[in-house]
Amino acid sequence: MKHAWPYGVLIGILSGIWIFFIQKTGVHNREIIPSRGILGISWMEYLSVLIPFVGLYLGIRKYKKTLTNGELSFFRAFVQGFMILLVGGVLAGLATAILLQYEQQPYMEEYIGRFGGALLAGILLNFAVSLWFMNRPKNL
């Protein structure tokens, strides 16, 4: 778990900053930006996928380098990525809760839905990055 903290905190802080940035620019608001992309999501919101990808990539790569023999199975990489996402998700959830607490938002359900979408995207990214860093099994 000690390897998950720095990269989870990185994801959490960057996600918190991103949440406040999206709020202040009004990208999430349908009245301000009526022309939206696929599923009613702005192109800027798709960039938020880079935050967990970078955190997972750096965290799992560092974890693999710290192993004595460099052997990393898919399961170990996936669990390490899940711990990173857990730390980052808690911090991003706190940032969202703070935003919803102090900003009067009529779109609270939309924020919760987007948070669920971010969770799904994080798990899919974790799957991809874990496949990327795992060693090929010798006995198939």
Using the Cα atoms of residue 38, residue 43, residue 46 and residue 48 in order, give the sign of their dihedral: negative
Q: pTM of this prediction?
A: 0.79
By CB atoms closer than 10 A (0-12, 13-18, 19+), residue 19 is: buried
User: What pLDDT tens digit does each residue of the chain (140 aa) get?
Assistant: 777 889 999 988 998 888 888 777 766 555 544 455 555 566 667 777 888 899 999 999 998 888 767 788 888 889 999 999 999 988 988 887 787 777 665 556 666 777 777 788 888 989 999 888 888 766 54
CA distance 130 to 138: 17
CA distance 100 to 82: 26
Neighbours of 125 (CB within 10 A): 21
Find, among 107, 91, 97, 1, the residue nearest to 51 by Cα: 91
